[in-house]
Amino acid sequence: MSDPRSALSARLDATSSPVREMLSKLGATLAFPRGIAAQSAEAAELATCIDATAGEVWRDHVPVGLPAVIGPLRLSAAETVAYAPTPGVPALRDAWRAKILTEHPRLADGPVSRPLVTQALTHALAVVAELFVDPGDPVVLPVRYWGNYDLIFGTRRGAELLRSPLTRDDALDVDGLEVTLERGFAQRDKVVLLLNFPHNPTGFVPTLDEADALVAMLARVAAPRERRLVVVCDDAYAGLVYAPDALRRSIFERADDLGPNALTIKIDAVTKELNAWGLRVGFLTYARPRAEAHAAEVLDVLENKTATAIRGTVSSVSRLSQTLVLRALESGRLEAEREEIRALMAARHAAVLRTAADPRFASSFDLHPCRGGYFVCLRLPPDVPADAVRRRLLEAHGVGVIAPTDGDLRVSFCGLEDHQIGPLFEAVDSAVRHVMAR
């Protein structure tokens, strides 16, 4: 039997794709083993007489679930407690791919992988970090970001995190990002860029013009022959956009514009898109430019390596969770229900912006630009430590918020009722004044 690692490397080498130089040392070695998972999959197709591969209890040709476990569900054991394939339930992968293509018409008929099912966004990001980040590799991200990137890219993979200003004068700071990317390329030929729109913690979303300027800059920066740019689109809050001129689609759809030296990766999940925070179902999808000669082969190799990373971490994602998501995608009701939630969030967002703009609060805080997502981020006056305000809010007002940096407070408006918005900002104002007077 030939070694799957060398066979997969040979396939990737034969494509001459720039993707080869994007992989980490670990990513370069990963290849799906010809072990239990691969042999069981083969048997599921070909063992028409007796299948003695599976580590599941079967009776009368179906898996046996205990009534105490699956009784409360109106679903079969095959849909709930049976193992799911490592890359995910095939019908779910196809349904999510169809969703991505519907939402991103530019990608139609282009080289886009089948999404791989991960244990929600966190796991998808950890898999990306394993596949593409070596110790010391520059990872460019905004000054403010979802704190878990530190663990996923910094602590676990030893990346060098380069922080870039997200906005300047309330617009996307494309020039600032270009300078940071150039700093990264001065260190290594490969740079990983994390994009997250709508953004956590600010809710920032670029305008369509800003997105075009961003893509043009990225194409320019990635153009030199030796450079490799991995663009990771963390689309956690996809669809939750409230301003009419804001970008509604993922930068993922611009693979053609970014050119061969950039690899676009989409990370998304049911977590916030389908209000299914605890189901733990996410997706990792790759796109290549149409002009790449062997794009389908490159995507196939990337899918294999990604499935290998999944196999080596969680083995496969909950079958029950995947079934619930697939049923939802097939229900025909999902878009209407999502729109209802988006409208609710848009109304809360509008109420938050209106309330925070009250001139009474002007000396206590103002808002970072926010056009989507779950959060707004309050900029505090200089020398007012955010954590002191956060503690005061807890102790004197019974109000909980997050202090993501020394100078900001993050307020989650997604869970706030209308009547809570005014009192919350009153309390922040009072706590800031208290801390300033100390």
Tokens 């020398």 locate to 383
**Is residue 152 close enough to count as binding ligand PLP by CB under 6 A?**
no
Closest separation in Å from C-beta 275 to ligand PLP: 12
Least distance in angstroms from the C-beta of 77 to ligand PLP: 27
Site for ligand PLP in 19-58 (CB under 6 A): none
Residue from 15, 17, 86, 122 binding ligand PLP (CB under 6 A): 122
Q: Give the CA dihedral 102, 106, 111, 115, nearest 10 degrees.
A: -40
Residue 126 or 299: the one with the smaller Cβ distance to ligand PLP is 126
| Residue 79, CA distances (Å) to 38, 50, 88, 105, 433 in order | 21, 22, 13, 32, 56
When asked if residue 268 is in the footprint of ligand PLP (CB under 6 A), the reply is: no
Eight-class DSSP state of 187: H
Task: Assess 120 for contact with ligand PLP (CB under 6 A).
Answer: yes
CB of 231 to ligand PLP, least distance (A): 15
271 binds ligand PLP (CB under 6 A): yes
- Pair type for strands 262-269 and 228-234: parallel
* Residue pair 229/191 in contact by the 8 Å Cβ criterion: yes
Q: Which residues of 370-382 are buried (b: 16+ CB within 10 A; e: fewer)?
A: bbbbbbbbbbbee
Q: Which of 18, 282, 372, 404 binds ligand PLP (CB under 6 A)?
A: 282
Closest C-alpha to 276, from 314, 322, 232: 322
Q: Which of 313, 288, 297 is nearest to 124 (CA)?
A: 313
365 touches 407 (CB < 8 A):
no
Token pair belonging to 63: 């898996």
Q: Burial, 45: exposed, middle or buried (Cβ in 10 Å; 0-12, 13-18, 19+)?
A: exposed
**Range in contact with ligand PLP (rule: CB under 6 A) among 51-59, 120-128, 415-423, 428-436:** 120-128
Q: Does 117 bind ligand PLP (CB under 6 A)?
A: no
Minimum CB separation of residue 237 from ligand PLP in Å reads: 7
Least CB distance from residue 317 to ligand PLP, whole Å?
12
Binding ligand PLP (rule: CB under 6 A), the pick from 130, 234, 253, 303 is 234
DSSP-assigned states of every residue in 394-432: HHHH----EEEETTEEEEE-TT--HHHHHHHHHHHHHHH
β-partners of residue 408 are: 379, 405
Which residues have C-beta within 8 Å of that of residue 303, sequence separation ≥ 6? 87, 113, 114, 116, 286
Of 236 and 435, which has the nearer Cβ to ligand PLP?
Answer: 236
Binders in 193-222 for ligand PLP, by CB under 6 A:
196, 200
Binding of residue 129 to ligand PLP (CB under 6 A): no
- Residues numbered 236 to 255 that lie near ligand PLP (CB under 6 A) are 236
Nearest distance from C-beta of residue 375 to ligand PLP, angstroms: 9
C-beta atoms surrounding 190 within 10 Å: 23
The site that binds ligand PLP (CB under 6 A) totals a number of residues, namely 11
Stretch that binds ligand PLP, among 118-126, 158-166, 217-225, 289-297 (CB under 6 A): 118-126
Q: How far is the CB of 266 from ligand PLP (least distance, A)?
A: 12
User: Which one, 122 or 322, has the nearer CB to ligand PLP?
Assistant: 122
Distances (CA, A) of 198 to 131, 146, 273, 354, 426: 25, 12, 12, 20, 26
Pick 167 or 196: Cβ nearer ligand PLP: 196
Q: Which residue, 270 or 329, has its beta carbon nearer to ligand PLP? A: 270
**Residues binding ligand PLP (CB under 6 A):** 120-122, 146, 196, 200, 234, 236, 269, 271, 282
